[in-house]
Amino acid sequence: MRPATTIKREGREEATRDAAGWPRVPVGEMLSGVQAGFASGARDEKGVVQLRMNNVDTQGRFVWDRFLRVPASPAMIDEYRLRRGDVVFNNTNSTELVGKSALFQDHAEPVVYSNHFTRLRVRPGVLSPAYLSAWLNHQWQRGTFAEICNQWIGQSAVKAEKLLALSIPLPPLAEQERMAGRLTKQLAAVERARAAAQARLAAAECLPAAYLREVFEGLEAPRLELRTVSRAVTDGTHLPPPFTSCGIPFLFVRNIVAGRIDFDVKKYVSEESYAELTRKHRPERGDILFSAVGSFGVAVVVETDERFVFQRHIAHIKPDSEKIDAHFLAMFLNSADGRAQSEAVALGCAQRTVTLQDLRRFTVPLPPLPAQRQIAADLARRLGEAEHLAACIREELAAIQTLPAALLREAFGGVEGHNG
């Protein structure tokens, strides 16, 4: 592509043109009004809807399910009210989000906006508001606003003069409207694809619970207390040991809440501390770790011979292998029946806890050991297939999420330069 050029005729400099031959003009010259919003710390259930940072998403859409209402006089509403065709520019946000924009179409009641937004009104007949909104989001996607913003701790802002100085390619109005209309249709198709994939992902993520419920709700077998089918039900260390920068991993409850043991840790203990902490009970392959505090009720089988220790918020179950299969037991504890028992006995509010005394009294079904192993193997296969399906849909969703930026790049692909 040829870069944008500046044309000189008869000793004077005319508008810069891009590779497509369109003139490029400062954004500010194409606007009839630029108005920053107003701050309001007050709330009023009967007040006016005020647009905040979270009410515009990264796809240039308004989010109406979590807005605030603030007090405002009729004069303030008249001054700051959004009207069809207004473009709102998010002038203050985190560095990665500052600059996201949206085209206001309509709402059932008046809408104003906070000082985190700047309202842009175009000059009729020369600039399409939909084209401007798309171009601003293209600039956001390519990092223009992250480059020109002023940064503070936790917040960044794009000054109005920097925004208005950016040069926007200006094809004929009909071409602007054609581009904006095409983008609107394409982005709507992307949103439909995203929503469909999200629905399929939600269904796929429900499969594990459904499989566990199918097996354990219909399982006819004697039930025994957990303590009678375990060699020990204990927990981790109650006092923080001396930590080291390397050595034997130390696990917290967050290391097992995802349904597996995550050994990506930042705290370790020495050989001496490990020997002391595991003097009575040492975690071994085939044991079960059970989250007992906070995100309680998750059981994971130890599938490694690597050494590790853990905090007291994790219960440590040593199944009696002559009575119960470890994978069968963990799957039952993760089933609706097992979770219901956890929920029924969990104490507290902010940090709900399943005590060891209560955990030992959980009742578990006990079919013959060969049947347990067959059930565990069948469930493992089905759960693996469900996870593979969910992973594939997540990859599909990730690809869909990149499409809006790709469509914007395609639409403005003939334009080069710092902010084109």
Residue position matching structure tokens 């330069």 = 417
Residue 304 CB neighbour total at 10 angstroms:
11
pLDDT at 163: 97
pLDDT in tens, the chain (420 residues): 334 444 343 333 445 655 567 899 999 999 999 999 999 999 999 999 999 999 999 889 999 888 899 999 999 999 999 999 999 999 999 999 999 999 999 999 999 999 999 999 999 999 999 999 999 999 999 999 999 999 988 899 999 999 999 999 999 999 999 999 999 999 999 999 999 999 999 999 999 999 999 999 989 999 999 999 999 999 999 888 999 999 999 999 999 877 789 999 999 999 999 999 998 889 999 999 999 999 899 999 999 999 999 999 999 999 999 999 999 999 999 999 999 999 999 998 888 999 999 999 999 999 999 999 999 999 999 999 999 999 999 999 999 999 999 999 999 875 544 454
pLDDT at 420: 47
* Structure tokens belonging to residue 20: 């497509």
Top CATH class of 222-366 equals alpha beta
7 CB-near residues (< 8 Å, 6+ apart): 13, 14, 15, 16, 17
Contact predicate 52/67, CB 8 Å: yes
Positive or negative torsion for Cα 242, 243, 248, 254: positive
Distance CA 55, CA 62 (A): 6
Q: So where are the chain's domains? A: 5-171, 222-366
Structure token pair of residue 98: 């500052």
- Stretch (H or E) spanning 290: strand 288-291
Which two tokens mark 298? 């998750």
- For residue 260, what pLDDT is reported? 87
Tokens of 257: 């809440």
pLDDT at residue number 153 = 84
Return the closest-CA partner of residue 190 out of 198, 201, 200, 179.
198
Confidence at residue 20, expressed as pLDDT on a 0 to 100 scale? 62
| Close Cβ partners of 373 (under 8 Å, ≥ 6 residues apart) | 325, 328
> What is the CATH number assigned to the segment(s) 5-171?
3.90.220.20
CATH fold match for the domains 5-171 and 222-366: yes
pTM listed for this prediction: 0.78
**Which residue is listed with tokens 């920053």?**
36
Burial 267-296 (b: 16+ CB within 10 A, else e): bbbeeebbeebbeebebeeebbbbbbbeeb
171: tokens are 């094809």
Q: What are the backbone dihedrals phi and psi of residue 81, each rounded to the nearest 5 degrees, phi first? A: -70, 135
